[in-house]
Amino acid sequence: MNSSEEIAVSGMSAGRSAMRMGPAELVQAAAMARRFYLEGKSKIQIAEEFGVSRFKVARVLETALERDLVRIEIRVPAELDAERSDALRARYGLRHAVVVESPAEAEETPDPENLGEVAADLLGELVNEGDVLGLAWGRSTIHMAAALDRLPPCTVVQLTGVYDAGTAERGSVEAVRRAAQVSGGDAHPIYAPMLLPDAATASALRNQTGIARAFEHFDKVTVACVSIGSWEPGISTVHDMLTEEERAHYASLGVAAEMSAHLFDAEGRRVGRDLGERCITVKADQLRRVPEVVAIAGGQRKGPAIDAVLRSGLVTSLVTDTSAADYLMTAGPTPKSAFNRSDPDGA
């Protein structure tokens, strides 16, 4: 996951421009460069060893770079796009942004499985021993959990109900169990649908012992992993669970995105808050207080939805692909930093 630097220090085999240096200069420059770049010695230490000033050492090292005696290469795995990642992080003021190459054969497929694999590696970096890891429902988080191979000991809690209670064993419940198994920590799954027919049914379920125990951990979550859905069939689980009349109602409010059953307009403002009363899910204000919220979402079709959620200030880090990143880099005015995590609509 991390960029790695490879320093190649050569001697007489340096490029043509470096051969303008005399043999003694080349040998000394190569030795100084080796001390500095490969052995980690300071310029003062090198100066003392060679009996010169540290300013001379600095000039020699600079000349070695200019004349191709020393080559520094920044390498990341081929599937990671370091330039887009850094640009996206800066544009949205994110803590981490990781952009992977979009699958050439499936440009329009949202959330390719390799996003989950990269997110699994990222969580391996972000989660510390004793953390509480929260996982929300989503295909990408399920892929992430399946790819996990390392996590320090931590508690894992489910942040939302499931899309279909009949598939719980293959969905977010299994994702929570898998993460807990890898970490060796406790698991707190939620055996309940995400969306209920009415607020009263949802309230009754929240008071059930197992679900209430999971909810008690929501305020303790230190790292959360969420998915993002566009407001269209097949790309938002909440959209697909509603009736046609309900979809039309929320569409009239300007819904552009959904995350953990919370709806957002294109500016990142929450709309349709009444829907949350019918849902088994972490509250938006609770997510806002989580130190690290990692969203996993990709594909060009999800570009506007990702932009909307990033503008909400709820997300601190993003794993996405080049298709979505190219959209995000030109999506409207530059958004405010994610580190300013106030509610965009002031509520």
Domain 23-67 has CATH 1.10.10: yes
pLDDT of 75 reads 60
For residue 312, the model assigns a pLDDT of: 94
Q: Provide the pLDDT for residue 77.
A: 59
pLDDT of res. 72: 73
* Intervals of CATH 1.10.10 along the chain: 23-67
pTM reported for the whole predicted model: 0.75
| Per-residue model confidence (pLDDT) at position 12 | 39
| Burial bucket for residue 288 (CB in 10 Å: 0-12, 13-18, 19+) | middle
Closest CA to 335 of 88, 81, 84, 82: 88
In angstroms, the CA 5 to CA 279 distance is: 47
Residues of the chain with CATH 3.40.50.1360: 80-330
What CATH architecture is 80-330?
Answer: 3-Layer(aba) Sandwich (3.40)
Q: What pLDDT score was predicted for residue 285? A: 94
pLDDT in tens, 222-256: 999 999 998 888 777 788 888 889 989 999 999 99
At 19 the pLDDT is 44
What is the four-CA torsion angle of 320, 323, 326, 330, rounded to 10 degrees?
-90
Q: Is 220 helix (H, G, I), strand (E, B) or coil?
A: helix
| Residue ranges in the chain whose pLDDT is less than 70 | 1-22, 73-78, 104-111, 164-171, 336-347
- CA distances 184 to 150, 219, 345, Å, are 10, 21, 40
